[in-house]
């Protein structure tokens, strides 16, 4: 039985550019552009599901686990919104960057170098973020099974990834990596992309039921990301644990 979801090749790829996590015009520029829409989607869905009413700190005391947190691009805004955040990543370099940046910004985020199957945590989380990570792991079934074990009953898991379509190959690989050079060549491997129906099936086996599924697309004219009904390239799902 496989007891490891870490894809060494993927970890090395992101470790090499770890210093650039917080440079908005560096190698992670697309994620910086992506972040506002991700933050508002996650925040709004947590507030409506848990019926939160704190205007000042909208996510006050919500326990969030950010899996594959990288340099902390999502962990930090979640912490600023009042959440109690833990970030894990399989790259030591990413975690060190995240720790330094959080310390510099006086944010109390706990970061650990770990993958979900190796993360021994006594407390279960209200929310798990799996953002742009499932397409980089070596065994998606085991990865999501391990994630599910870390989530409370009635907790939310958000999964954002890339659909496995011809359009996603043309947009996310040919367009974003080779033509526009938004991402380093080789960032994505199309065979690791996941169709929404496959993701839903895997999560259902692990007591996670789809609550909603939305597409995301980049508006070239406005130069920003928007939610969309088109799920053929980027999509995000909200799942509730039964």
pLDDT at 124 over 90: yes
Mean pLDDT of 31-46: 96
pLDDT at residue 185 tops 90: no
Q: Retrieve residue 195's tokens.
A: 């169709």
**DSSP per-residue string spanning 210-233:** EEEEEEEEEETTTTEEEEES--SS
**CA–CA distance from 200 to each of 41, 157, 160, 194 (Å)?**
19, 12, 12, 10
End-to-end CA distance of the chain: 26
Q: What is the pLDDT of residue 2?
A: 53
Question: Which residue, among 43, 41, 40, 20, has the nearest Cα to 30 in the 3D structure?
Answer: 20
Question: CA-CA distance, 159 to 175, in Å (whole number)?
Answer: 23
CA angle at residue 157 from 31 to 212, to 5 degrees? 90
Task: Decide: 73 and 50 in contact? Cβ < 8 Å.
Answer: no
How far is Cα 192 from Cα 200, in angstroms, rounded to an integer? 16
- Residue 238 CB coordination number (10 Å): 19
Q: Tell me how many degrees the CA angle 127-45-151 measures, rounded to the nearest 5.
A: 15
- What mean pLDDT is predicted for residues 132-156? 97
Domains by residue range for the chain, with CATH:
8-241 (3.40.50.150)
Helix (H, G, I), strand (E, B) or coil at 38: helix
Q: What is the 3-state secondary structure (H, E, C) of 72-141?
A: CCCHHHHHHCCCEEEEEECCHHHHHHHHHHHHHCCCCCEEEECCHHHCCCCCCEEEEEEECCHHHCCCHH
Q: What is the pLDDT of residue 223?
A: 87
pTM attached to this predicted model: 0.94
The mean per-residue pLDDT over the stretch 98-112 comes to 98
Per-residue pLDDT of 192-208, as tens digits, reads: 999 999 999 999 999 99
């Amino acid at each position: 039985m496989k007891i490891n979801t870490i894809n060494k090749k993927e970890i090395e790829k992101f470790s090499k550019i770890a210093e650039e996590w917080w440079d908005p015009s560096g190698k992670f520029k697309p994620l910086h552009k992506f972040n506002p829409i991700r933050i508002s989607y996650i925040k709004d869905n947590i507030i409506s599901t848990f019926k939160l009413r704190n205007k000042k700190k909208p996510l006050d005391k919500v326990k969030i686990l950010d899996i594959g947190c990288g340099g902390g691009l999502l962990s930090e805004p979640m912490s600023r919104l009042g959440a109690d955040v833990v970030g894990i990543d399989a790259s030591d370099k990413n975690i060190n960057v995240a720790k330094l940046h959080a310390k510099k910004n006086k944010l109390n985020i706990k970061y650990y170098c770990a993958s979900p199957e190796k993360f021994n945590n006594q407390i279960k989380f209200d929310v798990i973020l799996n953002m742009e990570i499932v397409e980089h792991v070596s065994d998606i079934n085991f990865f999501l099974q391990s994630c599910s074990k870390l989530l409370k009953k009635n907790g939310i898991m958000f999964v954002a990834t890339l659909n496995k379509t011809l359009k996603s190959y043309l947009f996310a690989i040919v367009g974003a990596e080779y033509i526009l050079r938004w991402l380093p060549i080789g960032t994505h491997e199309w065979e690791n992309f996941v169709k929404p129906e496959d993701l839903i099936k895997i999560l259902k086996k692990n007591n996670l039921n789809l609550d909603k599924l939305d597409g995301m697309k980049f508006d070239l004219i406005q130069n920003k990301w928007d939610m969309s009904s088109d799920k053929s390239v980027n999509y995000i799902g909200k799942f509730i644990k039964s």
